[in-house]
């Protein structure tokens, strides 16, 4: 017959076994990231989404970030192969595969990153989903960085000032812009920008303002040229391994999907928009020459003439996708310009 001490011991042993069983049933969702731990994409976007997921699944799914996994272009393959469960990347790093999201990159959209990101998700959901460009992946969100600028070590007053200059580009629409502006293109991931500018390998970059802070570009650039309706945007996706999703219960899969889509796209866009404001303040405090170009400025007029017709070229480039490209472009611009943040 068990005495009181034995009963207590057995009771605590059962509680320990039960706790261990619950703990071991928790699934870790590993997110591969190529940005620094302090970048808003990691702290504000993945960090917030991770908390949402853990709460919605009552701790059955926990989110962990894995750093230093190499070039951002490899993230798609790493997730497809199950090396990590989820990640994000810039579409321009893999030319030819993701043509449709580059609809948001066209010059002159005239909105911030949050409005552009929500518009991109809604247009994808309505016009692009059946084209299946993300085959092998499950899409969590689509987002855009803020309006691109020219950040340089030389002053720019006219398009001719850019001729022959070595400019880092990330791909996508930036490539077409670089060709029109007659610059010498230097392709490299964003994470190499500081080093290349510091060493004089490049004379400038095409990037949004957020990187003045997140990549400390205020330390290695002297001038910023900001176009009145934005020079271009940049499209990104956040994605997850379908097999990982299938390993979860139906309840937890649905919870993750509910927390993704437009909700996550808006979160990512908002974070980048806040980063752009911080980047502007950092650049201004550091004494950079910031040229906010007016619509009737000669430089702006020359630029607009050079980029005329780029949207039609995008429409032509996606003919093989079997979508209503003209309708999608019209919808994107309407949604973006009518969007009001919650």
DSSP readout, 311-335?
Answer: HHHHHHHTGGGTS-HHHHHHHHHHH
Cα distance between residue 42 and residue 64, in whole Å: 10
The number of domains in the chain is: 1
Other Cβ atoms within 10 Å of 38 Cβ, number: 9
Angle between helices 325-338 and 113-123 (to 10 degrees): 140
- Average pLDDT of the segment spanning 17-34: 69
Q: Is residue 7 part of a domain?
A: no
Enumerate residues 6+ apart whose C-beta is below 8 A from 6.
Answer: none
Other Cβ atoms within 10 Å of 74 Cβ, number: 18
Q: Is residue 203 part of a domain?
A: yes
Q: Is residue 14 part of a domain?
A: no
**Is pLDDT above 80 for 211?**
yes
Q: Is residue 63 part of a domain?
A: yes
More confident residue, 133 or 341: 133
Of the chain, the percentage scoring pLDDT greater than 70 comes to: 93
Q: Is residue 1 part of a domain?
A: no
Contact in structure between 90 and 236 (CB atoms under 8 Å): yes
Confidence of residue 3 (pLDDT cuts 50, 70, 90): low
56-72: pLDDT as tens digits: 999 999 999 999 999 99
pLDDT of residue 91: 96
Query: Tokens 């009145």 belong to which residue?
Result: 228
The two tokens of residue 105 are: 């990159």
Full 3-state SS string of 13-28: HHHHHHHHHHHHCCEE
**Is pLDDT above 70 for 104?**
yes
Q: Is residue 309 part of a domain?
A: yes
Average pLDDT of the chain to the nearest whole number? 92
**Is pLDDT above 60 for 274?**
yes
Cα distance between residue 93 and residue 208, in whole Å: 17
322-333: pLDDT as tens digits: 999 999 999 999
**Is pLDDT above 90 for 1?**
no
Q: Which helix (H) or strand (E) holds 145?
A: strand 138-145
Confidence of residue 119 (pLDDT cuts 50, 70, 90): very high
Q: Is residue 8 part of a domain?
A: no
**Is pLDDT above 60 for 11?**
no
pLDDT of residue 14: 38
Domain of residue 235 covers 26-338
Other Cβ atoms within 10 Å of 104 Cβ, number: 32
Q: Provide the whole-model pTM.
A: 0.90
- Average pLDDT of the segment spanning 189-196: 94
CATH of the domain at 105: 3.40.190.170
Cα distance between residue 50 and residue 55, in whole Å: 9
More confident residue, 172 or 224: 224
Confidence of residue 342 (pLDDT cuts 50, 70, 90): confident
**Is pLDDT above 60 for 21?**
no
pLDDT of residue 341: 86
Q: Which helix (H) or strand (E) holds 194?
A: helix 193-198
**Is pLDDT above 50 for 196?**
yes
Q: Is residue 38 part of a domain?
A: yes
């Amino acid at each position: 017959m068990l005495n009181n001490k034995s009963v207590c011991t057995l009771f605590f042993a059962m509680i320990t076994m039960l706790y261990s069983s619950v703990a071991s049933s928790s699934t870790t969702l590993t997110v591969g990231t190529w940005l620094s731990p302090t970048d808003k994409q990691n702290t504000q976007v993945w960090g917030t989404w991770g908390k949402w997921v853990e709460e919605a699944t009552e701790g059955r799914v926990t989110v962990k970030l894995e750093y230093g996994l190499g070039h951002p272009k490899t993230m798609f393959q790493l997730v497809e192969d199950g090396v990590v469960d989820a990640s994000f990347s810039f579409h321009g790093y893999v030319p030819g595969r993701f043509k449709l999201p580059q609809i948001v990159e066209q010059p002159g959209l005239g909105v911030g990153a949050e409005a552009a990101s929500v518009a991109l998700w809604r247009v994808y959901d309505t016009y692009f989903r059946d084209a299946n460009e993300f085959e092998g992946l499950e899409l969590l969100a689509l987002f855009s960085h803020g309006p691109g600028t020219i950040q340089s070590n030389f002053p720019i007053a006219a398009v001719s000032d850019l001729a022959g200059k070595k400019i880092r580009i990330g791909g996508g629409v930036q490539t077409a812009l670089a060709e029109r502006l007659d610059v010498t293109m230097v392709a490299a991931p964003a994470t190499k920008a500081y080093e290349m500018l510091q060493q004089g390998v490049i004379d400038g970059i095409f990037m949004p303002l957020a990187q003045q802070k997140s990549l400390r570009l205020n330390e290695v650039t002297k001038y910023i040229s900001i176009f009145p309706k934005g020079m271009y945007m940049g499209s990104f996706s956040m994605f997850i391994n379908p097999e990982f999703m299938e390993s979860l219960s139906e309840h937890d899969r649905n919870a993750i999907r509910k927390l993704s889509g437009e909700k996550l796209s808006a979160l990512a866009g908002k974070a980048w928009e806040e980063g752009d404001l911080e980047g502007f303040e950092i650049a201004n405090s550091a004494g950079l020459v910031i040229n906010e170009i007016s619509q009737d400025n000669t430089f702006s007029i020359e630029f607009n003439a050079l980029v005329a017709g780029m949207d039609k070229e995008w429409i032509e480039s996606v003919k093989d996708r079997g979508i209503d490209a003209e309708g999608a472009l019209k919808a994107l611009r309407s949604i973006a310009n009518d969007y009001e943040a919650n």
